[in-house]
Amino acid sequence: MADSAGQQPKEGKKMKPGFLPVYAVELLFREEPKLEPSRIFERIHQRIRKTAINTGPFRETEQVENEALRRKETTGSDRFELAAVFYHGDYTVNFTDAEVPAQTRVFEPREIREDLNWEGVLQQSWKWEGGAERLEEYRYAVTLCDWYAAMLPFERRIEMFQSVLASVIETTGCDAIYWQPSGQLIDAGTFLASYPNEPLYGALNVRVYQMQRQNEVLVDTLGLTALGVPDIQCRVVDMTPDRVIPMIYGASYYVYGNAGEAADGQLLGGAGLRWRCERQRSVLAPERAVIDLNPGHPHYAGTQTEDPVGYDKDEANAWQDDEEDSGSGYRLREEDGTEFRSEREYRMQENRQTPLRQDSHSSTSEEE
């Protein structure tokens, strides 16, 4: 098993668009840090007991072939000098002829390009404080990546990675992270405080885009597909993002905790109207498979042909004389077949039920 240049084994899962066989982030520094691999190892060992270290000498400069580590846009080079390799015996991967420990790798600092344009990243870094002024203070980047980890269950993979990342932050004084797979900047101190209770902190980013149609927005996630979990998207009209974002977060954690699965037609939500799931291709780059959420008429602006709680196209001329008919061409139908002529009528029925009805499809609370 080479510790310098070389490809990871070709065995394992078929790579889907957006999945990263090598997962990497960049730790940002104002001054060039002096890495101390032995200290990093000691801190990792507190979190991952079966850990070994190799500090070289390595046979040659690491030539990284995977797109996840091509940082030309930040440093102008795709060649990396290894500082240390950590072998994690608590996280092993089985190949045809061997069981090998998953690795994490830390690379020596490299200068960040001065002419780098961070505008797109800053626009979608909602947790970042300090804006472009703070970002301009950083001059060096240290790359941390995993290796031989693509075949780990995604929960185990991110658990291992975040344990090592926390250890590197604590021993280097890093206070900012460019989380390339989720396209955002993260405060390192906030990450340390948050990740024990939020396993996707940093790895999950919720983006908001204004679409061309008036009052239409698209809210999606970026970062889940990199781990092998479908990202989430929702395209709505006349609905503010703050009503969509909690549902996006709730759906993301539900899918993450449900083996990365949500069936077509499954309804996510709590009391009131549920949001319907359907697998689709992403509307926005990067190209990837996503779970599209449909909150129902009149707010849904995507391409699903069915709506939550059984919205079905009315037969011709049905309910034409009904005063409550909005002319939308949809009727509400509960899962047991009960039909309603309007959302108001449906919600009146909901209010007569227990405060929070749970069924086999209702898995995520809208208030989460």
E strand or H helix at 131, and its extent? helix 131-135
pLDDT surpasses 90 at 304? yes
According to the model, what pLDDT value does residue 114 have? 79
> Is the C-alpha dihedral spanning 54, 59, 61, 64 positive or negative?
negative
And the tokens for 291? 């779970």
Render 193-220 in DSSP notation, one character per residue: HHTTT-TTBTTBEEEEEE-SSTTEEEEE
pLDDT at 207: 96
Please give the distance of CA 23 from its chain centroid, rounded to a whole number.
12
Task: Note the pLDDT tens digit of each residue in 110-149.
Answer: 998 877 788 999 999 999 999 999 999 999 999 999 999 9
Query: Which has more confidence, 257 or 70?
Result: 257
Please answer whether residues 298 and 238 qualify as being in contact, where contact means their C-beta atoms are separated by less than 8 angstroms.
yes
- The reported pLDDT for the residue numbered 309 is 61
Tens of pLDDT, residue by residue over 59-115, are: 655 544 445 455 545 665 666 789 999 999 999 999 888 999 999 999 999 998 877
Helix (H, G, I), strand (E, B) or coil at 142: strand
CB 174 within 8 A of CB 197: no
Report the distance separating Cα 200 and Cα 43, nearest Å: 21
pTM recorded for the entire structure: 0.78
**Percent of all residues in the chain with a pLDDT value above 70, rounded to a whole number:** 73
Flag the least confident range among 15-19, 37-41, 67-71, 225-229. Answer: 67-71
In this predicted model, which residue has the larger pLDDT, 214 or 339? 214
The model's confidence at residue 234, banded by pLDDT at 50, 70 and 90, is very high
Residue scoring higher pLDDT (336 or 152) = 152
pLDDT at 60: 56
* pLDDT class of 180 with cuts at 50, 70, 90: very high
Q: What angle do CA 101, 107, 108 make, to 5 degrees?
A: 150
Comparison of pLDDT for 347 and 155, the residue scoring more: 155
Look up residue 76 and give its two tokens.
């102008």
Question: Would you say 128 and 90 are in contact if contact means Cβ atoms under 8 Å apart?
Answer: no
> For residues 135 and 29, is the Cβ–Cβ distance under 8 A?
no
For residue 258, pLDDT beyond 90: yes
- Alpha-carbon distance 260 to 227, whole Å? 10
Are 223 and 121 in contact, with CB atoms under 8 Å apart?
no
Q: Look at 337 and 206; give whichever has higher pLDDT.
A: 206
Please give the DSSP secondary-structure letter assigned to residue 357: -
Domain locations in the chain?
24-194, 205-352
pLDDT for residue 363: 41
Higher pLDDT, 315 or 268: 268
For residue 223, the Cα-to-chain-centroid distance in whole angstroms is: 3
End-to-end CA distance of the chain: 45
Q: Show Cβ contacts of residue 50 under 8 Å, excluding neighbours closer than 6 positions.
A: 88, 89, 90, 101
90 contacts 109 by C-beta, under 8 angstroms? no
**pLDDT at site 273:** 59
Place of tokens 């790895």: 203
What mean pLDDT is predicted for residues 22-49? 96
Residues counted in the chain: 368
* Cα gap 15→17, rounded to integer Å: 7
Q: Which of 240, 242, 244 has its CA nearest to residue 232?
A: 244
3-state percent helix, strand, coil for the chain, nearest multiple of 5: 25, 30, 50
